[in-house]
């Protein structure tokens, strides 16, 4: 049976089974890991093994988008395990951080599932990479550029979550700031996606540019929300264990990913498909809204 004949419901079932298998493979790493391994190392190896399994299944079904929900599915699993093995940490902070990560993950995964039509649908960016890869084998591009690279970037973002969950400092004012930043980021992403879905659903908006609501202030409010979320998690880590300040490499990596890859790709596509988008780019900043 070709993937084009698989229903959306069956396709989502394939994704669920794939991720349960990936979870099982990751748990196998946790069980087999030497006691001397730090939880950061164990989680990293388990993360890589799970990614490799999802990659293998994406090749079986010839659909790199099988990896897409991994971005939001893996972090709450890692965070929940870290809470279980930390042995220390402020209970209130652990509860707040874990709750925020779960809310973010459920919403973002749900948004992906809402827009995914099935195994016959592949993200246009992956098709573009496949068409322009030259002589590089597709499996190399799929594994390195589409799957391993995001896994590594998300893991860098998660580095600050470990001190946030294991740090012993009591919940304080910086945690309040971190809560506001992280919750605000989740709300911004949710609002941006809701406005985008409503705009795209109206036939009269076909070919037009969304420049209302939060999209009036920034061209990519969903990306801004995603970046802000990882900075908020870093603030939690800083509040719990200031010596782990260096984990800012995570949110910095997020900024680089979106600024250097995601935003240019989206802007080039919009320039090619929507008249007046060049003027829109001059009028509306890519990420941070103007003060005026």
| Rounded average pLDDT over 181-208 | 94
Evaluate whether 166 touches 88 at the Cβ level (below 8 Å): yes
202: left (phi over 0), alpha (psi -120 to 50) or beta: beta
Q: What is the pLDDT of residue 205?
A: 87
- The string of pLDDT tens digits covering residues 86-120 is 988 999 999 999 999 999 999 999 999 998 999 99
- The string of pLDDT tens digits covering residues 230-263 is 999 999 999 999 999 999 999 999 999 999 999 9
pTM of the model: 0.94
Look at the block and give the residue holding tokens 């874990």: 98
- Cβ partners under 8 Å of residue 149, min gap 6: none
Q: What is the pLDDT of residue 88?
A: 86
List the structure tokens of 287: 């990420």
Distance set, CA 216 to CA 52, 101, 145, 212, 282 (Å): 40, 27, 31, 5, 12
Look at the block and give the residue holding tokens 């979870």: 23
Q: What is the pLDDT of residue 3?
A: 62
Is the pLDDT at 1 greater than 50, yes or no?
Answer: no
Using alpha carbons, select from 107, 25, 126 the residue that is nearest to residue 67.
Answer: 126
Using alpha carbons, select from 260, 183, 64 the residue that is nearest to residue 175.
Answer: 183
Is the pLDDT at 4 greater than 70, yes or no?
Answer: no
Q: What is the pLDDT of residue 290?
A: 84
| Rounded average pLDDT over 200-206 | 89
- Residue 219 φ then ψ, to 5°: -70, -25
Q: What is the pLDDT of residue 217?
A: 94
| Rounded average pLDDT over 51-72 | 96
Q: In angstroms, what is the C-alpha Rg of the chain?
A: 20
Q: What is the pLDDT of residue 91?
A: 94
- Higher pLDDT: 132 or 30? It is 30
């Amino acid at each position: 049976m070709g993937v084009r004949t698989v229903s959306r419901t069956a396709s989502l079932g394939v994704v669920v089974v794939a991720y349960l298998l990936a979870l099982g493979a990751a748990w196998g790493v946790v069980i087999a890991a030497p006691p001397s391994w730090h939880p950061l190392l164990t989680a990293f190896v388990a993360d890589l093994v799970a990614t490799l399994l999802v990659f293998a299944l994406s090749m079986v079904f010839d659909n790199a988008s099988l990896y897409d929900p991994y971005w939001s599915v893996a972090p709450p699993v890692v965070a929940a395990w870290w809470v279980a093995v930390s042995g220390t940490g402020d209970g209130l902070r652990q509860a707040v951080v874990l709750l925020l990560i779960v809310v973010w993950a459920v919403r973002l995964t749900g948004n992906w599932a809402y827009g995914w039509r099935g195994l016959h649908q592949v993200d246009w960016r992956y098709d573009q990479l496949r068409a322009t890869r030259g002589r590089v084998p597709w499996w190399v591009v799929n594994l390195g550029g589409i799957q391993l690279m995001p896994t590594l970037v998300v893991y860098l973002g998660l580095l600050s979550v470990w001190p946030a969950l294991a740090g012993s400092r009591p919940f304080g004012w910086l945690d309040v700031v971190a809560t506001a930043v992280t919750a605000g980021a989740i709300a911004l992403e949710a609002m941006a996606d809701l406005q985008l879905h409503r705009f795209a659903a109206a036939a009269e908006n076909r070919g037009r540019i969304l420049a209302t609501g939060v999209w009036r202030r920034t061209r990519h409010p969903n990306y801004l929300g995603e970046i802000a979320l990882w900075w908020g998690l870093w603030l939690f880590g800083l509040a719990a264990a200031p010596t782990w300040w260096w984990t800012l490499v995570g949110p910095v990596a997020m900024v680089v990913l979106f600024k250097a890859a995601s935003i240019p790709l989206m802007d080039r596509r919009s320039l090619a498909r929507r008249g007046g988008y060049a003027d829109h780019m001059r009028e509306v900043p890519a990420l941070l809204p103007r003060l005026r």
